[in-house]
Amino acid sequence: MENDYKSLIAKIDKTKMPTHIAIIMDGNGRWANKHGLKRINGHKAGVKVVREIVETAREAGLKYLTVYAFSTENWGRSKIEVNYLLKLILDSLINEIDDLVENGVNIRFIGTEEHLPPGYDVKVEENCRRSWHNSELYLNVAMNYGGRRELVEAIQSIANKTKQGILQPEEITEQVISDHLYTAGMPDPDLVIRTSGEIRLSNYLIWQSTYSEFWFTDTLWPEFTRAEFIQSILDYQERKRRFGKR
């Protein structure tokens, strides 16, 4: 199995490597159900896979990886599951930060502060900050993230600048909007992966994914493998990207 994915890495055409891959990690609950476990065990199993995929992304020479950990819609789940996810995500960051720092990963959380428990953001930033000198792999964790919420915050910030006369309405361009998103300064995703057989975007990077290629698999996130991840890159390399042109 180990060699399996390494031989696939060797097949990657470095000249056509995607710069940014964004993943919707779906199917933890169904995986748990399938194994007669509680949903929270599905999320726990999912964290192990996040670790493997981050390692593999680094090995493959990927520059940006964004993973959808918790959406603004996820607050609608049971209190037990929400609290478990909040704790699991923060604990995983705290447990992994030393390794991430050592391995050249630059990690940041993208999302809104709204509804997060007091102090949560501070703990996230304290830990992430330790990695901000790194530049091998930029890892974004979309946490309390919603694409529409992101646009609302960007528009509010732009409107404030317009009100103060810092920015004229006619100066608002696509670039200005991109520069006010959580992903400011980062390239848009070239490839968006979603696991578990669902074929939708679910409020993920809605502005940034306009010209992304999409790759779907029926595999549930806890069963997603390094080899499958590399296969998504190989498939991407076969696509013809036209960006609306002929």
Instruction: Report the alpha-carbon distance of residue 194 to residue 217 in Å, rounded.
Output: 7
Binding region for ligand FPP (CB under 6 A): 25-30, 43, 46-47, 50, 67, 69, 74, 88-89, 92-93, 141, 196
In the bound complex, what is the minimum distance in angstroms from residue 217's beta carbon to ligand FPP? 14
Both tokens of residue 233?
Answer: 């890159």
Catalytic residue among 3, 13, 26, 41, which?
26
Instruction: Report the alpha-carbon distance of residue 125 to residue 8 in Å, rounded.
Output: 35
DSSP for 104-138, written as a single string: TEEEEEES--TTPPTTHHHHHHHHHHTTTT--SEE
Closest-approach residue to ligand FPP (CB): 29
In the bound complex, what is the minimum distance in angstroms from residue 102's beta carbon to ligand FPP? 17
Catalytic residue among 74, 103, 134, 203, which?
74
- Of 195 and 212, the one with the shorter C-beta distance to ligand FPP is 195
Is 26 one of the annotated active-site residues of the chain?
A: yes
- Of 87 and 239, the one with the shorter C-beta distance to ligand FPP is 87
If we measure between CA atoms, which residue out of 177, 91, 71, 186 comes closest to residue 139?
186
Question: Is the separation of the CB atoms in 203 and 33 below 8 Å?
Answer: no
- Of 46 and 180, the one with the shorter C-beta distance to ligand FPP is 46
- Of 89 and 230, the one with the shorter C-beta distance to ligand FPP is 89
Instruction: Report the alpha-carbon distance of residue 8 to residue 234 in Å, rounded.
Output: 8
In the bound complex, what is the minimum distance in angstroms from residue 153's beta carbon to ligand FPP? 21
In the bound complex, what is the minimum distance in angstroms from residue 74's beta carbon to ligand FPP? 6
In this structure, the strands spanning 64-71 and 105-110 are unpaired
Is 74 one of the annotated active-site residues of the chain?
A: yes
- Of 39 and 180, the one with the shorter C-beta distance to ligand FPP is 39
In the bound complex, what is the minimum distance in angstroms from residue 13's beta carbon to ligand FPP? 29
Amino acid at 148: R
Q: For residue 64, what are the β-bridge partners?
A: 20, 138
Strands laid side by side in the 191-194 sheet: 105-110, 137-145, 64-71, 20-24, 191-194, 213-216
Which are the catalytic amino acids?
A: 26, 74
